[in-house]
Amino acid sequence: MMILPEFDLLRPRSVDEAVAAARRTSGAFDYLGGGTDLLCNYKWGINANPTVISLRHIGELNERQGGSLGGGLTLAELEADEDFLHDFPAFRRTLARLASPLIRQTGTLAGNILVDTRCIWLNQSAFARRALGNCLKADGPECRVVKGSTDRCYANYSGDMAPVFMVYGAEIRLAGPDGERTLPLTEFFSLDGRTRNVKAPEEIVVALDLPGDARTLRASYQKFRVREAWDFPELAVAASARMDGDRIEELSLVASAVASIPLWMDEIAAKYVGRTLDDETIDAVAGDMFKASRPVRATLLPPGYRKHMVRVMTTRALREIRGDAVPVPAAAM
């Protein structure tokens, strides 16, 4: 049986109160959204802290104004928001295929963006981990997936929402001890499966802001997973384009769940601006995405197969953007 370790639970009523509470712990705390990721890790004995600061009672995190979405909104609230889905339709299938309905009732937007990286070595009970030998991310000297790595963890980024927000051009709003700051979501993630992003520990994700002109983009999210129920992505591709007839005016691409962060493929995208979105272009983009993705053995499926599927998923995403009917797994909608 997996039992939660003991911790102090704080329930501040404002962002300022939460940040002040975090500072008093000298770093030995975690923020809590819905807890669907954090508390599983606590039960597994992965990097638990003695203080947990719940953000569920902070009203300002639960607001939505147009394309500005509070970090505390639950995934189910977004899924039920027809205005949001109308304006940003790629989220409809993304949300429908994220975890399970029960988890979406509790899981929050910010918690999803910040979902911890995953690895077949790490995400199991403390007993199993001790038997195998601990690893760099929790209580061990080196990475077991990339042998010999003592300074970098290669665990997989597995959140479904961030890649879609990235191709819609979203910004992330943070509040911390030094006030508020906003940065493009494409600049938020930083390579290492332990640190994961540039957020200071005390900073809170207040909101994700989608730009007004994102409503005129065509976007697609293609997720590949083992079971068509609740599984994390084994790899995923998000793409968006602004089209002028059949000519690409703007293109954004993300390969996700093939590294410790969602990979923003801006150099590949830039090559194809001005080209016609025909089969030849789609094959070329998919080939470039395939070459640029280098998954390691941190998830269930073999890296070579996941790399191959990046090509397939890129092709599907671009075909969907073009208006083709693309295969969608039965459970998706």
**309 lines the binding site for ligand FAD (CB under 6 A):** no
The site that binds ligand SF4 (CB under 6 A) totals a number of residues, namely 14
**155 lines the binding site for ligand SF4 (CB under 6 A):** yes
CA 261, chain centre distance (Å): 8
Strand, coil or helix: what is 252?
strand
Which of 88, 232, 264, 272 lies at the binding interface for ligand FAD (CB under 6 A)? 232
**237 lines the binding site for ligand FAD (CB under 6 A):** no
**121 lines the binding site for ligand SF4 (CB under 6 A):** yes
Nearer to ligand FAD, 147 or 227 (CB): 227
Nearer to ligand SF4, 144 or 311 (CB): 144
**154 lines the binding site for ligand SF4 (CB under 6 A):** yes
Token pair, residue 83, equals 């205005």
**136 lines the binding site for ligand SF4 (CB under 6 A):** yes
Q: Which amino acid is at 225?
A: R
Using CA atoms, how far residue 195 sits from 151, 154, 190, 325, 328, in Å, is: 11, 11, 8, 39, 34
Question: In this structure, is the dihedral angle defined by the CA atoms of residues 6, 8, 13 and 19, taken in order, positive or negative?
Answer: negative
Footprint of ligand FAD on 102-141 (CB under 6 A): 103, 106-108, 110-112, 114-115
For 315, residues 6+ apart whose C-beta sits below 8 A from its C-beta are 282, 283, 286
Q: Return the number of other C-beta atoms located less than 10 Å from residue 18's C-beta.
A: 24
| Cα 135 from Cα 122, distance rounded (Å) | 7
**164 lines the binding site for ligand FAD (CB under 6 A):** no
Q: What 8-state DSSP symbol labels residue 121?
A: T
**157 lines the binding site for ligand SF4 (CB under 6 A):** no
Nearer to ligand SF4, 155 or 317 (CB): 155
Nearer to ligand FAD, 54 or 271 (CB): 54
Footprint of ligand SF4 on 183-222 (CB under 6 A): 193
Token pair, residue 42, equals 């606590």
Nearer to ligand SF4, 84 or 121 (CB): 121
Q: Which amino acid is at 209?
A: D
Place of tokens 């890296």: 303
**185 lines the binding site for ligand FAD (CB under 6 A):** no
238 binds, among ligand SF4, ligand FAD, none (CB under 5 to 8 A by kind): none
Q: Are 196 and 188 in contact (CB under 8 A)?
A: no
Which of 93, 137, 173, 311 lies at the binding interface for ligand SF4 (CB under 6 A)? 137
**75 lines the binding site for ligand FAD (CB under 6 A):** yes
Strand residue runs (E) in 79-234: 171-176, 179-184, 204-209, 218-224
Q: Give me the residues that bind ligand FAD (CB under 6 A), please.
A: 30-38, 40, 55, 61, 71, 75, 98-99, 103, 106-108, 110-112, 114-115, 158-160, 204-205, 230-232
